[in-house]
Structure 1
Amino acid sequence: MAGAFALRLAPRLAAVPPGRGKGGGGASRGAGSRALVTKKPNKEHHLWIRKETAGSGKKALRLIDTVSKLPNEKEAIYGALDKWSAFEPEFPIIAAAKALGMLKRRRKWLRIIQVTKWLMTKGQVLTWTTYDTLLLALFMDGRVDEAESIWTTVIQTHTRSVPKRLFSRMILMYDIHHHPDKVLEIYADMEELGVRPDEDTARRIGKAFVAFGQEEKEKYVLDRYLKKWKYIHFNGERVRVRRDGPLA
């Protein structure tokens, strides 16, 4: 019986880790000592390296100061802008984008057109924001034909990736310049590409249909794209009501 107990106990004794049993290696350590573990420092790996943006604001201001002092001549503008970017190891994309934003806030429409067209010759900073800013500048400067030419290039090149705001920009321009036929052409492109107009754009589209005596199509557009609910001030409070309800 004692032999059978010893056989069952032997595997358990063999499983005791070193230094845990009596007289084990752990007994030689101090009572409060701990083993020192050296950990390797973590190395961070970045898939994307952020471009250096330091000084881009000063570069943008230098661009604005440069073009502001020049006459409205293409050769003079382009030559100065070439010198502005000549000594940069990489094209100053961030500075150029900031400069366009500053010119937009200052409402310098002609300078925006000049700088943007120069960027287009370089193939740089051709973002949707840049195109939108250029279309706005052409519209504000009264150059509808040029804006239409830029729009045609954009819609033919990118087609299904053109954002809603560019469609809205063109419809706004054509509406203000009294071209309802052009408004409806843009709307037809939006319908084909599945772009849903915002409420202001939908009203301008409806207005274009009215100009051609098609009030039923105006009602269709407004019913389809205007929200069913809107907020009004009633008895000193802001309340939500149905657009076609009695309070509307």
Structure 2
Amino acid sequence: MDKKYLILKLLRSSKIVKKVGKKEHHLWKKRDSAGSGQKALNLVKIVSELPNEKEAVYGALNKWIAWETEFPLIAAAKALKILRKRSQWLRVIQVAKWMLSKGQGATMATYDTLLLAFDKDKRVDEAESLWNMIVHTHTRSISKQLFSRIISLYDHHDMQDKIVEAFADMEEVGVRPDEDTVIRIARAFRKLGQEDKQKLVLKRYQCKWKYIHFKGERVRVRRDAWDKDGLTE
């Protein structure tokens, strides 16, 4: 009998056995985000209806997590985003501080939201305390966004010395400022009467090109040819 015929016959008669994977059953999924959106909305509703006393807010938040098997971090983070979009800055501060007091949500995103809320609510001392903690705890991992946030806050409150300090920290860890932050830093040096450092910052960090609208079109031009000192108020 032909060998090829024998091989084909064996292949046809052989049974292909598929292994069935073991199914796992869980009473709950530990990090399941299902329903987190509704939980977030419930949290927003709860805190929005409370008086401004810290004890009342923290008490309600503690009740919100009383029956949870683990801290509902996803829902809490979503609630913070909703409160931020609604410009409910006091509630942002209260919820974020409560999360941090529970050892939860210590991320750059939470810090950024909290610094923004401090800025909007004119709580500069608290912003500075938080920033000092961030610098001492996360020196090498501070994002460009977070540096921009604190420099923006200092700029809004006319704190030139603090802008220069934050910029020094930026340079120390090798974080390059974005365009808006460069303008704020340069303006701070100018207000402090340090025009030489102002020019150095602009020369080192400011983009050499800028876009303008000319006759209905977006045109790229060299900044030094268009704007002598590169500063806008």
TM-score (norm 2): 0.87
Distance 1:247 1:40, change over 3 A: same
Q: Structure 1: state its 5+ residue gaps.
A: 1-18
1:170 corresponds in structure 2 to 150
1:86 corresponds in structure 2 to 66
Q: Contact 1:241–1:247 at 8 Å: present in 2 too?
A: no
The separation in 2 between residues aligned to 1:20 and 1:226, in whole angstroms, is 80
The separation in 1 between residues aligned to 2:210 and 2:143, in whole angstroms, is 25
Give the CA deviation at 1:123: 0.4
2:16 corresponds in structure 1 to 38
Moved more, 105-114 or 223-232: 223-232
Q: Name the aligned partner's letter for residue 2 of structure 2.
A: R
The separation in 2 between residues aligned to 1:247 and 1:143, in whole angstroms, is 36
Give the CA deviation at 1:125: 1.3
Distance 1:42 1:210, change over 3 A: farther
The separation in 2 between residues aligned to 1:224 and 1:41, in whole angstroms, is 63
1:117 corresponds in structure 2 to 97
State which of 104, 114, 122 in structure 1 corresponds to 2:84: 104
The separation in 2 between residues aligned to 1:140 and 1:246, in whole angstroms, is 34
**Residue 212 of structure 1 pairs with residue 206 of structure 2:** no
1:230 corresponds in structure 2 to 210
TM-score (norm 1): 0.82
Q: Name the aligned partner's letter for residue 99 of structure 1.
A: A
Distance 1:140 1:247, change over 3 A: closer
2:129 corresponds in structure 1 to 149
Give the CA deviation at 1:176: 1.2
Give the CA deviation at 1:230: 2.0
Moved more, 215-224 or 78-87: 215-224
Q: Name the aligned partner's letter for residue 79 of structure 1.
A: G
The separation in 2 between residues aligned to 1:153 and 1:226, in whole angstroms, is 29
Distance 1:127 1:240, change over 3 A: same
Give the CA deviation at 1:247: 8.9
The separation in 2 between residues aligned to 1:91 and 1:169, in whole angstroms, is 28
CA shift digits 1:203-243 (9 cap, x unpaired) = 10000111121112111111111111222222332222222
Residue aligned with 1:241, SS? strand
Distance 1:194 1:89, change over 3 A: same
Q: Work out the number of aligned pairs and report it.
A: 222
Give the CA deviation at 1:246: 5.4
The separation in 1 between residues aligned to 2:157 and 2:123, in whole angstroms, is 11
The separation in 2 between residues aligned to 1:247 and 1:159, in whole angstroms, is 35
Percent identity between the aligned chains?
A: 58
State which of 217, 222, 228 in structure 2 corresponds to 1:242: 222
2:181 corresponds in structure 1 to 201
CA shift digits 1:53-109 (9 cap, x unpaired) = 111011111111111111111111111101100101111010000000000000000
Distance 1:208 1:246, change over 3 A: closer
Distance 1:236 1:26, change over 3 A: same
